[in-house]
Each structure stands twice: as structure tokens, then as C-alpha cells.
Structure 1
Amino acid sequence: MKIVAVEAIPFAIPYRTPLKFASGEAHTADHVLVRVHTDDGIVGIAEAPPRPYTYGETQESIVAVIGRIFAGEAVGLSLLEREVLHARLDRTVGNPTAKAAIDMACWDALGKTLDLPVTQLLGGFTDRMRVSHMVGFAPDEVMVAEAERVRDTYGITTFKVKVGRRPVSLDVGACRALRTALGSEVELYVDGNRGWTPTEAARALTLMEDLDLTLSEELCPADDVLGRRWLTSRTSVPTVADESAATPGQVTRELLDGAATMISIKTARTGFTTSQRILHQCEGLGAEIVMGNQIDGQVGTACSVAFGAAHRHSSRRAGELSNFLDMTDDLLTEPLEIHGGELAVRPGPGLGIAIDPDKLARYRTD
């Protein structure tokens, strides 16, 4: 079970339409496929989606740091030496998605070695999750049409609405249009990607009090400590910390400061090992969890649902597991499928997924 090589393969797959939100927009999934090889001939896989406007990583930086630093730190270790691996990776500051992908590829390789699903190794609570779909910036009628299409096609009834535009009235109008069109049986929540000031966010939430929003995520900047605390104290809508709570220490700060009441876990930035630490930390502090999405492709989504379904605390809410629907293609031999508003964990050892070599050859950019 010793690691003998780590690969970082850049690939690019276009989105059907650009994904637009307050912190940026994406036209192409410029991601990195990470493969961990062992001396038993096992290959574990994971996906690293760079988000330069959030974490400072690019596709090029992920490939470089894995090839020049992290691969050398991992080679020679057993798949079971996770603490040693993380101690070595943490000598290098930052690079969260590069580290996370190596961690998850090791878990996949371990599951394949032991002939057990990763979700069973992590906790095995259930084998599926309800799905939430993200609706990005667009004219109101386009956002409504997208939500109706996703609801009618996939049975999804939970929607995360991107907000954070100026003026605030643009997003208030969009949320109102969605509530009117979709009715009261659909769950709506908002994500500002740090786009509003605290006072703008407070005004928007007041204007939307009658829309029954269930969550509000990262409405204002992460470093506006007093403003975030003030906003959370004056609203009844639970506040989700996402980009501001990317490490266990930041999770502690956000919850104890009163700047958030819930935490978004994204396996793309904290892997399985650190995500599990954050989840247990939230359980101990009495904070709820939502499984977030870093605009993952199908490999990354398979990782998210494997982790989310494995734990009781993370499987309670709908997870953000549908953004791969916005991509024109993907790398898997058997594409993920959402039925009845749910995504099932793939059966089989590890993550239960395999890469189509022809598709990888078509989309890789190296």
C-alpha cells in the first residue's frame, strides 16, 4: 500500500453557459485530475478545481505544486500514514485544493485496496443524498426557467440562489420571481460570495422576509469581522460560513465570534480527512452542516456525495451536488445521474468511479 507516484493532469471542459456569481465567473472547467499510484498497481483518483478568485490557486499552480513538491512528499508513504502525509503537505502554506485532491485520491486508493467503498470507510450512514442546485446570475426569467427545468427533469426541489449584485434590488427581485414561480414547496437559500456590505445584506434580508429563505451564505466579506457578527445577530435566517471557514481554526473563529451559525464543508478544499475533523468539530459545537460545491465536475461530485452520505450530520440537508450538469461533458466511464432529486453513492470499492481514457485524452491540456 505504498505510494509510488502522484500525477496532476490538467484538463478543460466547457460549460454550457457561463456560471456567474459575485466573486467571478467561469466559462470552462479548467480542473486538474489527480492520480495516486501504489506499489500494488492501485490507482486512486480525485479532482482539484482551482478558484483563483477565492483561494488564489490556478490550474497551473496546482500542477506545479503537486509535481515539484507534494508528489515527492507523498512517495514512499503508506496509504494509512495520513497524519504523516498531512504533516508534510502542511509545510507548504495554502494550496488547499491540491492538498485535498491528494488526500481524497489516497482514500480512493485505500478503498480499492481493501475492496470497500470510501463512504463505508468514512462512516457508512446512508448511500444517497438529496440534491441542491445552484442558480447563477441571469435575468429573472432565465433564472426561473433554469430552476423549473432542473426541478422537472431531475426532481430537485432545493435551490441555492447566487446573490451579491448591486443594486440589492436585482437579487431581491430574482428571489421573489423564483418563489412566485416555484411555489412554497421548494426550498430557497442565498449565497452572496462576499458581494454585499453588512448593511446591504441586512436590507436585502429584510426585503425578503416573506420568501421563507432557509439559509444565507457569505453575504459580506470574510475579513469584516464586526459587520458579519452584527449581521448574524440581527437576522433569523441561519448564516452559513463558506470561504471564511476553510480550516478548523477558521471554523472555530466564525462560530465562537457569532459570525456564523452553520458551516459549509467542501471536500474539494479540505479533502476527506480535514472535512471529517471539521464535521466532528461542528457536531461538538452544535453547528449544522451543509455540503457545498466548488463547481466540481463529476469526479469531485462523487467525492462530495461519498463524504456527505457517510455521516449523519452531513446527510441531513440537501447537498450542492448538481453543478456538473452545467458542463458539456465529463471524464467518467459511467456518468453520474440524479433521480428523484437524489444522487446515490456509486457502489463498488473506493469511490466507485473510473476515468474514460478516451475522454481524458480529448480534454487534457498538457
Structure 2
Amino acid sequence: MKIVAVEAIPFAVPYRKPLRFASGEVHTAEHVLVRVHTGDGIVGVAEAPPRPYTYGETQTSIRAVIDTLFAPGIIGLSVFERERIHAVLDRTVANPTAKAALDMACWDAIGRALGTGVSELLGGWTDRMRVSHMVGFAPDDVMVAEALRMRDEHGVRTFKVKVGRRPVSLDTGACRALRTALGDDVELYVDGNRGWTASEATRALDEMADLGLTLSEELMPADQVLGRRRLTAHTRVPTVADESVTRPGEVTRELLDGAATMISIKTARTGFTGSQRVLHLCEGLGAEVVMGNQIDGQIGTVCTVAFGAAHRSSSARAGELSNYLDMVDDLLTEPLRITGGELCVPTGPGLGIEIDPDKLARYRTDL
């Protein structure tokens, strides 16, 4: 099971509409397919979705760091030697998405070799998760129409509303419109992508106090240390750290500093190995988690649901698993389907998915 080759293949799939939020917007999923080949002929796959405005990574940088640093360091190691693989990856600062994809591709290869699903290897708690859908910046009526469509067509009853605009009333008004249209039996929470100041975030949550919001995620930048503490102490809405917790040490800092009460876990950022470390740390500190989304395609969404469903605490809340629906196509032979507001973990060894070679040939950008 020694690694004999690593591929980092760039591909681009357009979105049906631009996805807009406080830290930027995306029009095309310019991602990287990572494939880890073993001497036994097994190929593990994963997806790296770069987010330059969040982590500083681009499609070009992910390919470069994998091709020039990571691949030469892990070729010759066994996919089972995960600690040794991470020792190689950890010598390089940052690059979380590139590292995560390599980690998950190795897990996929391990599962395929053992004939066992990755989700079972990770914990095997359940075989599905409830789905949360992200609603991005748009006029109120457009946001409402999207949420109603997701509820009616897919049974989704949990919605993450992107906020962080100025004036604050743009977003408080949108949330109020969504609550009015969807009723009280639908869960709403907000994500600011670091868009507000502490005073703006406090004002917004006060204005929305009657809307029954269940979470407030990353409303301000991580370096507004005192402001984050004040907001967390001020509000009854749990505060979720996301972009500020890219590794376990940052999770510890945010929770012990009182800057957040919950943590968003993203497999696109911490892989399976790092995500388990984050999850177990949160469990030890008594903090809840939510499974987040890095605007993943279907491959990345499979990774999220596989991890989230594997553990009792990560499957307790709806996971952010629907944004692949905004892409006009994807690379899988069998597309994912959300029914009754749930997404099931694909069956089969490893991640339980296969790449369609014709689709990969159509969307890859390096040929």
C-alpha cells in the first residue's frame, strides 16, 4: 500500500448563479481533484476547494505545493502511515486545503483496500445527516424563493443565512423575511464571514432577538479579540468559530478565551485526521460542533457527510451539505441526492464514489 504517485488535477465547473457573502463571491468552482495512487493499483480521491480570501490558497498554489513539496515527501510511504504522512505535511506552514485533500485521499485508499467505507472506519455512528442549506446575498424575495424551493423540493428545514452587509438592516430584514415566509418550525442561523464589527454584530443580534436564531457564526474577524468576547458574553445565541479555527490550537484559544462557544468543522480544511482531533478536543472541552461547508462540490460533500455521520456529536446538528446543487455539473458517476431533508453516506468501500472520466476530461483545465 505504498504511495507511488500523487496527482493534483485542476478543474472548473460553473455555478448556476454567483454565490455572494461578506468575504467575497464565486462564479466558478475552480477546484483541484487530488488522487493518491498506491503500488497495489488502488486510487484514493478527494477534492480541494481553494478559498483565497479565507485561507490564501488558489488553484495554482494548491497544485504547486502538492507537486513540489508534498508529493515528493510522501511518495514511498504507506497510506496507513498517517502520522508519518502528516509529519511531512506539517513541515510546511498553512496550505490547509491542500493538506486536507491529501489526507482524505489517503483515507479513501485505505477504505478501498480494506473493502470498508471511510465513515465506518471513522466511527460508524449513522448512515445519514440532516441537511442545512446556505442562502447567500440577494434581494429578500430571491432569498425567500430559494429557501422555499429547497424546503419544498428537498425537504430541507435548516437554513444558514449569509450576513455581514452594511447597513446591518439589509441582513436583519432578510432574516425577518425568511422567518415570516418559512414559519417557526424551520431552523435559521447566520454566518457573517467576518463582515461586521463587534458593535454591528451586537446590534444585529439584538434586532433579531425575536427570530429564534440558533447559531451566529464568525460575525467579526478573529483579531477583534475583546469584541468577540463581549459579543459571546452578551448574546444568548451560540457563537460559532469557523475561519478562525484552522487547527486544534486555534480551537483551544477561541473556546478558552470565551470568543466562541461552538466550532465549525470543515473536512475541506482539516481532512479526516485533523477533523477528528478537533472533534475530540471539542468533546473534551464540552463544546458543540457543526459540520460546515467550504462551497464544496459533490466529492467534498461526500467527505463532509462521511465524517459527520461517523460520530455522534458531529451528526447531532444538520450539516451544510447542499451547496453542490449550485454547480451546473460535477465529476461523479452517480450524483448525490437530498431527499426528505437528509443526505445519505454513499455505500461502498472508501468514500463510495467513482469519478466519471468523461466529465473529468470535459472540466479539467490542464490539458
- Scaled to the shorter chain, the TM-score interval is over 0.9
Matched residue type, 2:318: A
1:188 maps onto 2:188 in alignment: yes
Structure-1 residue corresponding to 2:225? 225
CA drift at 1:199: 0.4
Structure-1 residue corresponding to 2:140? 140
What fraction of aligned residue pairs are identical, expressed as a percent? Answer: 79
Deviations 1:101-124 (A, max 9, x none): 000000000000000000010000
Structure-2 residue corresponding to 1:100? 100
Structure-1 residue corresponding to 2:356? 356
Deviations 1:157-206 (A, max 9, x none): 00000000000000000000000000001000000000000000000000
Deviations 1:316-342 (A, max 9, x none): 000000000000000000000001000
Structure-1 residue corresponding to 2:325? 325
In 1, Cα distance between equivalents of 2:165 and 2:363: 33
| Correspondences of 1:1-366 after superposition (within 5 Å) | 1-366=1-366
Matched residue type, 1:19: L
In 2, Cα distance between equivalents of 1:2 and 1:162: 43
Matched residue type, 1:38: T
TM-score (norm 1): 1.00
Please, which runs of 5 or more residues in structure 2 have no aligned partner? none
CA drift at 1:80: 1.1
In 2, Cα distance between equivalents of 1:276 and 1:49: 20
In 2, Cα distance between equivalents of 1:201 and 1:97: 28
In 1, Cα distance between equivalents of 2:310 and 2:130: 13
Matched residue type, 1:9: I
Matched residue type, 1:106: C
In 1, Cα distance between equivalents of 2:350 and 2:166: 45
| Matched residue SS, 2:110 | helix
CA drift at 1:27: 0.2
In 2, Cα distance between equivalents of 1:75 and 1:203: 53
| Matched residue SS, 2:132 | strand
TM-score (norm 2): 0.99
CA drift at 1:246: 1.1
Aligned length: 366
CA drift at 1:74: 1.1
CA drift at 1:277: 0.3
RMSD of equivalent CA atoms: 0.4
In 2, Cα distance between equivalents of 1:221 and 1:118: 34
| Matched residue SS, 1:316 | coil
Runs of 4+ in 1 over 4 A off after TM superposition: none
CA drift at 1:282: 0.2
In 1, Cα distance between equivalents of 2:230 and 2:206: 14
Matched residue type, 1:47: E
In 2, Cα distance between equivalents of 1:92 and 1:219: 29
In 2, Cα distance between equivalents of 1:176 and 1:224: 27
Deviations 1:216-250 (A, max 9, x none): 00000111111101110000000000001111000
In 1, Cα distance between equivalents of 2:225 and 2:25: 26
| Matched residue SS, 2:53 | coil
| Matched residue SS, 2:329 | coil
In 2, Cα distance between equivalents of 1:313 and 1:2: 33
Deviations 1:139-163 (A, max 9, x none): 0000000000011000000000000
CA drift at 1:133: 0.1
In 2, Cα distance between equivalents of 1:67 and 1:84: 18
In 2, Cα distance between equivalents of 1:264 and 1:250: 12
Please, which runs of 5 or more residues in structure 1 have no aligned partner? none
In 1, Cα distance between equivalents of 2:74 and 2:6: 8
| Matched residue SS, 1:254 | helix
CA drift at 1:311: 0.3
